[in-house]
């Protein structure tokens, strides 16, 4: 009570911060690390979420597309599925491999 009296009138003390839950970002970083280890060094890896987690790997060479498509089913004990090829928005000289992540 004495502490409240010693503060100047009209000052507001902030609420204590809520503990941060990093479970989602930790899992995404784990998946990202797994993909980075398996992909060419210059590959661009991205995620999007629309109710299901999608991942995209953009590579420069068509041979790299085939290599990525071959490796994905073996990573993470079937974590990646529904693998397909597509265009890369805003990167005409890249090839995209897209897939679903079972998480």
Domain ranges of the chain: 23-101
pTM for this model (two decimals): 0.79
Closest CA to 30 of 84, 83, 82, 103: 103
Which residues lie below 8 Å from residue 78, measured CB to CB, with a gap of 6+?
Answer: 102
Tokens encoding 57? 């790997």
Distance CA 33, CA 28 (A): 9
Mean pLDDT to the nearest integer, 8-26: 82
Q: How many residues does the chain have?
A: 103
CATH of domain 23-101: 3.30.70
Mean pLDDT to the nearest integer, 39-61: 96
- Residue 89 pLDDT greater than 70, yes or no: yes
């Amino acid at each position: 009570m004495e502490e409240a009296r010693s503060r100047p009138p009209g000052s507001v003390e902030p609420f204590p911060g809520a503990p941060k839950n990093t479970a989602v970002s930790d899992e995404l970083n784990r998946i990202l690390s797994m993909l980075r280890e398996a992909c060419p060094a210059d590959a661009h890896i991205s995620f999007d979420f629309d109710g299901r987690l999608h991942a995209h790997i953009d590579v420069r060479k068509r041979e790299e597309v085939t290599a990525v498509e071959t490796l994905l089913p073996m990573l993470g004990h079937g974590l990646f599925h529904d693998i397909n090829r597509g265009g890369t928005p805003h990167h005409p000289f890249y090839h995209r491999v897209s897939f679903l992540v079972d998480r």
